[in-house]
Every structure is written in C-alpha cells, then in structure tokens.
Structure 1
Amino acid sequence: MTRSLRPVGLDFTESAPVRLVFEAVATAAPEAVYRALAEDVAGWPRWFRAVSGARPTHGGAGREVTLRGGVRFAETIMAADPEQRYAYRVDTTNVPGVQALLEEWRLTPSGSGTRVRWTFAADGAAPFRLALTAARPGLGLSFRTAVRTLDAQLSAQHP
C-alpha cells in the first residue's frame, strides 16, 4: 500500500525527530561523486547494494527508487548543488509508519578527495522511529560500503 508522506523542507535535516548522519571519505573528486549521485541516478544499483532500481522522473526533478526487499520511494529533488549537495524528499512509499523522510548528501573537498556526509532525516510513528534508530549500524555499514564501491568504480573509470 502506497502512503503519502508529509512534505518537508531542507531544514528537516536539522529538526527531524530521527537524524542519522554518516561520513566517509572518497578519493574521487567532488565533481565525480556529485555526477554519480545526481546525474547518473540509474547507476545507483551498481554501487549502492541496497538499491535494486532507480530512475529519474519529472524531467530530473524527481526519482523513483526501489530497494532490495521491495521498498519503493517516489521522491522530489530538493537540492542539486553541483559538487556540494544533493538532497531529496520522499513523497510516497510503501514503508509503514513513516510520516516524513528527507535524505541529504553533502560533499566537501578533503585532501585529495571528497568527504561524503549522508543525513537520513525522518519522522514517523514510535515503532518506526525505534526501528530506524535500531537500524543505525546497518545503515552506516551500507553507506560506507556504498561510498567505497562508488569510489572504486570512479577510480577504475579515471585511473
């Protein structure tokens, strides 16, 4: 069953009841990481194992994402700042209990690469918030693995 979520703005990354923030460093330059995040949406399953399908919608203003296990999201792009930030709000999903969800990827030059910070900001019913908080270690591992995999792919493309 598809559920409509409450629309939230970019400030939700600071005010959400549940905020999970993860960081990793890639050796790739910010422009390469940004291209993979924002411009090659269909390529996400190649480097983010949790994602089984992704495609841009509404002329690039939105995305449809499917995770392994059948979770689906219809999203609106909230920020696409080249080499700095990519953020999207989930508008509809089949996840029970979620009421609002926004994800933000921040890119910062770091030495000879890019510091990648992923903020997962959410609100929902108490069981959803509890489950999401309990999932923090797994989400962190998934994120760090995704950044390492993406970095390896980008390095292979531009040795």
Structure 2
Amino acid sequence: MAHRLRPEGLGFVGTAPVRLVFAQEMSASPERVFHALAEDVSGWAEWFPAVTSVRPLDDGAGRDVRLWGGGRFRETVLAAEGPRVYAYRVDVTNAPGARALVEEWRLSPAGTGTRVQWTFAADGNGVFRAVLRPARAGLGRSFRGAVTRLDRRLVP
C-alpha cells in the first residue's frame, strides 16, 4: 500500500538520520551526465538496472519511478541545476517504514570527465533504518554499475 512521506527539502541531504554517499568518476562530461539524469528521464531504465521505468510528470517537475521487485515512487524534483546538481524527494512510495527520502546527484569536473556523487538521504521507522544500513554495500554496487553503464552509453 502506498503512503505519503514527509516533504523534505534539499537541506535534508545533509541532516538525514541515514545518509549513504557513493562517488565514482566517469569519462563523460558533466553536461552529458546532467542531460542523462535530468532531461532523458525515461532513459534511466536503460542504464540503471534496478529501475524498470521512469516517467516524467508535471512537465518535468516530478517523476514516476518503478523498480525491480515492485518498488514504486512518486517524486518531486528539488534541484535541476545543470550541469552540477540533480535532486529529488520521494513524495509517495510503497516502501514500508519510510518517512522521508531525498536523493542528490552532484556532478563536478574530473579531468576531462565527471565525478558523480550520489547521496541517498532517508528517515524511517526502526526497521527501515536497520535494513538500510546493511543495504549500503548493495546500493553501492548498484550505483557503481549504473554509473559504469551510463558512461558506456554516453562515451561510445
């Protein structure tokens, strides 16, 4: 059953009770990476294996996201500051125990490529928090694999 989460702003990325931060460099330029994140929203399913579909909503102000395993998210875009930051919060999800969730993708030049930093900021009940902490390794692998696939897609 879907439930509404607390509507946090971008500042939650720095204050959330659970913050998982991952970073990786890629060859593509920040501009190309930002375009893939913020403007080619439906393309996420082609490079992020956990994602089965992403559909832009409200002229790009929101997203409807479906994950393998049945996870669903309705999101609001909080920042689309190309080519540096793309962030969104989850407004409605079927993830049990979640209370608030914001994700931030921060891009910075790294030589001729890009350093991508993904912050997964969350709050939830005790069970939700307890599950997220050991899930860190799996989320990190998922992030690294997705960034690698995105880089291959952007730099043939």
TM-score range with shorter-chain normalisation? over 0.9
The answer as to 2:69 corresponding to 1:69 is: yes
Shift of 1:112: 1.3
Alignment of 1:40-55 (within 5 A): 40-55=40-55
Gaps of 5+ in 1: none
Q: CA RMSD in A?
A: 0.4
Secondary structure of the structure 2 residue equivalent to 1:9: coil
Following superposition, the deviation at residue 72 of structure 1 comes to 0.2
> Residue deviations 1:91-126, cap 9 Å, x none?
000000000000000000001100000000000001
Q: Could you tell me which amino acid in structure 2 is paired with residue 115 of structure 1?
A: R
Give the match's secondary structure for 2:95: coil
Matched, 1:132 2:132: yes
Counterparts of 1:134 and 1:99, CA distance in 2? 18
Give the TM-score taking structure 2 as reference length.
0.99
- Matched length: 156
Cross-structure match for 2:93: 93
2:103 paired residue number: 103
Percent identity, aligned pairs only, is 59
Runs of 4+ residues over 4 Å off in structure 1? none
Consecutive unaligned residues in structure 2, runs of 5 or more: none
For each residue in 1:28-63, what CA deviation from the matched residue of structure 2 results, as whole angstroms up to 9, or x when unmatched? 000000000000000001000000010100110000
CA distance in 2, matches of 1:20, 1:129: 11
Query: Could you report, residue by residue, the CA deviation over 1:136-157 in whole angstroms, capped at 9, with x for unpaired residues?
Result: 000000000000000001012x
